[in-house]
């Protein structure tokens, strides 16, 4: 499942992608956000995922092959959501 506030959650098949770049492009297209998800260094939109242990990680932080096995859900967060304490341990800025 891919979640974005203000949009209907969508299902995707991770196995149909060959890497993070292709996944980011598909997510951007799916939610009409072309050009907004590519720069991981900016303060803009961020993609995070929840793994099979319930931890939240930044999309692209580990090897693709491992990610494809452990990912359970993906969230697209606005710049404002990144700063909100919506996940255990407070805001995500310390992890990003």
Hey, where are the domains in the chain?
2-83
Query: What ranges in the chain are assigned the alpha helix state H?
Result: 20-30, 64-70, 79-83
Tokens 């304490």 identify what position?
85
CB-based burial of residue 45 (10 Å sphere; 0-12 exposed, 13-18 middle, 19+ buried)?
Answer: buried
User: Residue written as tokens 């096995």?
Assistant: 69
> Would you write out the chain's pLDDT as a tens digit for each of its 96 residues?
999 988 889 999 999 999 999 999 999 999 998 888 876 666 688 899 999 999 999 999 899 999 999 999 999 998 888 777 655 544 454 444
Domain 2-83 is of which CATH architecture? Roll (3.10)
């Amino acid at each position: 499942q891919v979640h974005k506030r203000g949009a209907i959650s969508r299902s995707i098949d991770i196995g149909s992608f060959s890497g993070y770049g292709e996944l980011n492009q598909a997510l951007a297209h799916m939610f009409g956000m072309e050009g907004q998800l590519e720069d991981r260094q900016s303060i803009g939109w961020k993609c995070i995922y929840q793994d099979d242990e319930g931890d939240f990680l930044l999309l692209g932080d580990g090897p693709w092959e491992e990610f494809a096995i452990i990912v359970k859900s993906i969230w697209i967060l606005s710049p404002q959501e990144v700063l909100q304490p919506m996940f255990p341990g407070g805001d995500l800025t310390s992890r990003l």
